[in-house]
Structure 1
Amino acid sequence: MTLRGVRGVPAVSAGTERVAAGELPSPARDEWARWGSTAGLSEAALDGLTALVVPQPLGTLLQPLRLTGAVAAVPVTGVLCTGNGPGIEMLQMMVDVGDPALRALADAGVPFFELPTGHWPMQSCPAALADVLIEAASGGGRRLSSGDADRPPAHLRPFLLDVPERPRERTGNTDLYLPDGPGPHPAVVFVHGGPVPAGAWPTPRDWPTLTGYARYVAGQGVVGVTLDHRLHAVTDYETAAADLADAVDRVRADPRVDAGRVALWFFSGGGPLTADWLAAPPAWLRCVAANYPILSPLPSWGMVDTRFHPVRVLAHAGELPVVLVRAGRESAEIAATVEEFLTEAGRCGANVEVIDVPGGRHGFETLDATDEAREAVHRAVGSVLARLTA
């Protein structure tokens, strides 16, 4: 039996007897990575965990916790293990796009610390953890911002290039930014990241990064496409993949689009969606691009057995060009997935071009209006369009 769909809980194969008894079985020695990053753990520490672990009651995962508000009086500090999940900057981005749980923590002024380790800091770096706890008891830590009325959140700041407006057509969840002339024109479909809360406004297809790129390529004679897909939690990748596939079909059916010349360009948490297209590239797909992408599931997601794992399928991409835009100031956990992808690209001989933004942050298009970042955008767009028009 397989348990799936609980956010943050790995999908694990469990014995029928244990599940019937209301317990999640203990991990075997080689299964710890399902439950979080083992970065920093020695072999002896893993042996110790395996010897001491006990089954977990299923109710702790499946029964809702009903809060009375009394917890607000209890001091809270968050210790983020960045080898396992997001750091403080990534949490701030999630607050900015409207994550309700994190917004509550920001409003409450909860302080956070980071440790560059995996899921078990008490085993991997006990001295550093003790120092953090002492500092937390003294009132230290960084707090998330719940918003500044005079300054928009990072993802809603202006695009780093001054790109002229273009005609736009909106149909359902898809927007087309149209070039001059009747066509048919090549097209680039820009795929946003996430997870993005369902109530976020404006929705991603109106975010300046996506609209900026779409207008840019439209000015170069290529249809720019933005869309909203339903990646609202890490359990939603199948839904988001279906939304994307449907949007691509509709774009290719448009008479103004050259159905044989399409590129897909992914951002951030949209990176796992590249897997379907790398695993079996259709003939019309001329290029896949990805900016600061997540290219294998993060340890905290619990998605070991998933089709949305680009590293695992890259060997099937053949000669499909991949343009990878890498942010030099990327968070550690995302940078590790990019390095894993590039290692696999070297092993299998994949056709990957890397464009580096050494001083760039995750989402640099609205965070870092530098000459270096602008040049990277020009290079990336030029590289993708060259594959479309060749």
Structure 2
Amino acid sequence: MTEFVLVPGLFTGPRVWRATAEKLTARGARTHTVDLGPADDPETHIARVVETVDAIGAAGDERDVVLVGHDYGMHPAVGAADRRAHRVARIVYVDTALVQDGVPALVALADHEVRERLAAAADTTGELPPPARDEWHRWGSTAGLSDEDLDLLTASAAAQPLGTLARPLRLTDGSEGVPTTGVLCAESGATIATVRMLLNFGDPMLKALARPDVTFFELPTGHWPMLSCPEELANVLLAAAAGMGTSLMTAEEEPETPGYLRPFLFDVPEIPRERRGTIDLYVPEGAEVPPRPAILFVHGGPVPAGAEPTPRDWTTFVAYGRYAADQGVVGVTLDHRLHDVSAYPTAARDLADAVAEVRADPRVDAERIALWFFSGSGPMTAPWLSEPPPWLRCVAACYPIMAPLPGWGVNDPGFRPAEVVARGGTLPFVLVRAGLESSAVAATVAEFVAAAEAGGAPVTVLDVPDGHHGFEGLDHTDSARTAVREAMRLVLKRLGSG
């Protein structure tokens, strides 16, 4: 009989797990919900989980213990697995980042503003107060939660001791070989596809996810699935305990070639590039007289620091740069530092610097510039839409994320394009929308389009109904080719070059 140890997350206690525990019990499992209670450091919470595991084995029965943690609760859960690895059959992460030795829970705190403030204060003695009823969205997507769920969260919420967040977690290698499952919540922005993409980026932190005994499930809900869909979560936990789920790689498989490194939608000429610092220029032959307009192609992210190859060497962006040059304008690709979801201000400065450098090139007509954004760079459109300079003739975006996703905890109003276009504006915007986009990303696009319509902003939407996020290397369909070619035609027209 499977024994589930359920560890609550930030601000929550045993009550949050009640409905899911009832579903598990009805299916013949046994459940034990840990009351973490007050503590000065993570070790105290780890000890309480260890006590629960030890109590399960007090009768001497051979039982499988599955440790399940939700956001902060993952830290004491993994700590307990480290101390009692011989008792733990599987560790299950529920909508939670990977836990690492020596890294405090504070670094994964969903609300980045609070995280930075607490890190600067270095306080380990106070408490982090729970959110008000209308502030839970700052700590994760509330998709799927009813009014009653929000009432329950608020009524039962407790302050989080700062010592448990600020003090580092100490692990040996005890839990390294324990099978692991991640339960991803799509409305938070976490999907199996995004995890696979991050793994393909070469992030060393994620290499352990490629083990055959690491599996994933995906639920179409927000950050609190134990409330929004307890039956579905219970089914997933039972399947995880049985070793089921999607594995990113079996022992025999080679890593799958990511879409951005696969061949482009259509053939483009082999136009050479000029590398200059963090930018590459694809210059049409004879561009000196007269100077040509330029299109800067802005990659998405976050892309981990040190990932190889860097985005401007990805097949997709090399092809876009060449495609622009073949159309008679200067194509520009760049590497910017969107290495973390909190780094939008840094990446925006990198882009502004690249634009200034390109405009200073004598082969470029400095009065005719377009910016073309992709994926996670979508929020970076907001500053340009808010105060467009006269030389910026057009903005385009392919499968953009048009607002920080709920699970990112980014609340900077300067990177919310919908709020800008709701006020109107005259800068033309060409948006290429992927029909098979994830629900969380599609919601940000729908919000942007609706705001643009309400504000009368000139946004043209081109649809790729059969296209996935990053369709250039994944979906070589007529609709994808047509949309990209039409987007280029519209951008060139705005540049006075079409």
What is the TM-score with the length of structure 1 in the denominator?
Answer: 0.94
Give the aligned partner of residue 100 of structure 2: none
Structure-1 separation of matches of 2:295 and 2:367: 12
Find 1:173's aligned residue among 269, 275, 278: 278
Give the aligned partner of residue 140 of structure 1: 244
Give the aligned partner of residue 388 of structure 1: 495
Aligned AA for 1:144? L
Contact 1:261 1:285 in 2 (8 A): yes
Change (3 A) 1:12 1:251: closer
Give the aligned partner of residue 214 of structure 2: 110
Contact 2:123 2:166 in 1 (8 A): no
Q: Alpha-carbon deviation of 1:370?
A: 1.7
Tell whether 2:423 aligns with 1:325.
Answer: no
Aligned AA for 1:10? D
Give the aligned partner of residue 331 of structure 2: 224
Aligned AA for 1:69? D
Aligned AA for 1:112? F
Structure-2 separation of matches of 1:294 and 1:277: 16
Give the aligned partner of residue 13 of structure 2: none
Tell whether 2:146 aligns with 1:42.
Answer: yes
Question: Tell me, what secondary structure is at the counterpart of 1:73?
Answer: coil
Contact 2:122 2:166 in 1 (8 A): no
What is the TM-score with the length of structure 2 in the denominator?
Answer: 0.74
Structure-1 separation of matches of 2:169 and 2:318: 40
Find 2:157's aligned residue among 41, 53, 60: 53
Tell whether 2:477 aligns with 1:373.
Answer: no
Number of aligned positions between the proteins: 386
Change (3 A) 1:204 1:269: same
Aligned AA for 2:218? E
Find 1:359's aligned residue among 443, 466, 480: 466
Aligned AA for 1:56? Q
Give the aligned partner of residue 91 of structure 1: 195
Q: Alpha-carbon deviation of 1:85?
A: 2.0
CA RMSD of superposed structures (Å): 2.2
After superposition, residues 1-390 of structure 1 pair within 5 angstroms as 6-11=107-112, 21-107=125-211, 109-145=213-249, 149=254, 152-181=257-286, 182=288, 183-316=290-423, 318-389=425-496
Contact 2:249 2:255 in 1 (8 A): no
Worse-superposed segment, 97-106 or 6-15: 6-15
Structure 2: give runs of 5+ residues left out of the alignment.
Answer: 1-105
- Provide, for residues 32-73 of structure 1, a one-character-per-residue CA deviation record: whole Å limited to 9, x for no partner: 000001111111111111111111122333333233221123
- Provide, for residues 135-180 of structure 1, a one-character-per-residue CA deviation record: whole Å limited to 9, x for no partner: 1112211011389658633221111111001131111001110012
Structure-2 separation of matches of 1:317 and 1:244: 24
Structure-1 separation of matches of 2:124 and 2:398: 45
Question: Tell me, what secondary structure is at the counterpart of 1:241?
Answer: helix
Contact 1:7 1:234 in 2 (8 A): no
Structure-1 separation of matches of 2:164 and 2:359: 47
- Provide, for residues 294-339 of structure 1, a one-character-per-residue CA deviation record: whole Å limited to 9, x for no partner: 1011011111244211112223561101110111111111111111
Contact 1:323 1:383 in 2 (8 A): yes
Higher gyration radius (CA): 2
- Provide, for residues 83-107 of structure 1, a one-character-per-residue CA deviation record: whole Å limited to 9, x for no partner: 1122101111111112223222123
Aligned AA for 1:134? L
Question: Tell me, what secondary structure is at the counterpart of 1:289?
Answer: strand
Structure-2 separation of matches of 1:19 and 1:305: 24
Change (3 A) 1:20 1:128: closer
Change (3 A) 1:111 1:273: same
Identity %, equivalent residues: 61
Structure showing greater relative contact order (alpha-carbon pairs closer than 8 Å, 6 or more residues apart)? 1
Aligned AA for 2:110? V
Worse-superposed segment, 354-363 or 179-188: 179-188
Q: Alpha-carbon deviation of 1:29?
A: 1.1
Give the aligned partner of residue 97 of structure 2: none
Worse-superposed segment, 256-265 or 149-158: 149-158
Change (3 A) 1:94 1:150: closer
